[in-house]
């Protein structure tokens, strides 16, 4: 069983328990519909900055995890959006991280979890998300299309995450407006940012194209920009930085 299989199995058990407990209360903060995808289109290169304590491949990234302060730093640094890990077992995330960050910042929030049930779409909206992640490696065409339709009901954007051409075609056929190319193979966890560059030419300009994982420096960002990538999602490189504003400035190719 792969790590991804184990995560999905764990998620299924978690979601079944959450469905029995019922929907969380709405956080009461009104958000404009589809603000996440609009934000990614406002800049030449948009940055989605990740709030993440741990990962299966790297273990604990941040022992000291002041997630509210981290989110506020990202907002001050000019992040176009913030990605918040809520998966508890493998990434040590929590739904409350998302709901509390929603109250602390005005930046669009992506709930980064493993969506395998429509229940999680409304749940994400109630927690304060502006977008959810749909992973082609764990969903079929009908599920992707159905989840996008369900997300539209709540004004949520979807990043449909792909890793290869087959998944990319499936995402576009399902109606994805935002496609994220994961440079990390979720089955082997090997990373190669050229994966984004190779797939970019297959995606029309009206679809927002996000490169995920493996972005380490300004040269990586500039290479992706030259090949027409609209946004990058950066996690570990920022989470390990003591000065996140300076690190994001450096990734933009600017002096602090």
Active-site positions read 50, 52, 112, 161, 182, 212-213
Q: Which ranges of the chain does DSSP label H, i.e. alpha helix?
A: 3-21, 35-40, 67-77, 88-91, 95-104, 119-127, 141-153, 165-173, 194-200, 218-226, 236-239, 244-251
Phi, psi of 155 (to 5 degrees): 70, 20
Written as six digits, the tokens of 4 are: 């991804």
Written as six digits, the tokens of 129 are: 């998300």
3-state SS, residue 29? coil
Beta bridge partner(s), residue 178: 159, 208
Number of H helices, E strands in the chain: 12, 10
Strand 59-60 with 54-55, pairing: antiparallel
Say which residues have a Cβ less than 8 Å from residue 55's Cβ, sequence separation at least 6: 61, 90, 91, 235, 236
Say which residues have a Cβ less than 8 Å from residue 103's Cβ, sequence separation at least 6: 27, 29, 128
Q: Do the Cβ atoms of 54 and 92 come closer than 8 Å?
A: yes
Q: Which residue has the tokens 């089955």?
A: 187
Question: What's the rounded Cα separation, in Å, for the pair 58 and 81?
Answer: 23
3-state SS, residue 24? coil
């Amino acid at each position: 069983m792969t790590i991804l299989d184990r995560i999905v199995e764990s998620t299924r058990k978690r979601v079944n328990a959450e469905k029995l407990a019922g929907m969380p209360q709405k956080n009461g903060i009104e958000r404009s519909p589809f603000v996440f995808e609009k934000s990614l289109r406002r800049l030449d290169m948009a940055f989605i900055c990740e709030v993440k304590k741990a990962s299966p491949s790297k273990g604990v990234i941040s022992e000291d995890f002041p997630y509210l302060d981290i989110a506020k730093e990202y907002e001050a640094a000019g992040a176009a959006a913030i990605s918040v890990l809520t998966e508890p077992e493998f990434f040590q995330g929590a739904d409350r991280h998302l709901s509390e960050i929603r109250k602390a910042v005005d930046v669009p929030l992506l709930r980064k979890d493993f969506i395998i049930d429509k229940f999680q779409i409304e749940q994400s909206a109630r927690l304060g998300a502006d977008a959810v992640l749909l992973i082609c490696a764990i969903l079929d065409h009908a599920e992707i299309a159905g989840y996008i339709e369900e997300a539209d009901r709540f004004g949520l954007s979807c990043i449909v995450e792909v890793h290869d051409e087959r998944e990319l075609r499936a995402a576009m056929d399902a109606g994805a407006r935002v496609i994220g190319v994961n440079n990390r193979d979720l089955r082997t966890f090997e990373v190669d940012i050229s994966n984004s560059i190779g797939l970019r030419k297959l995606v029309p300009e009206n679809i927002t194209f996000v490169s995920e994982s493996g972005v380490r420096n300004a040269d990586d960002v500039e290479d992706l920009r030259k090949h027409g990538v609209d946004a990058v999602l950066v996690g570990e490189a920022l989470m390990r930085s003591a000065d996140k504003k300076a690190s994001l400035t450096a990734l933009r190719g600017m002096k602090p």
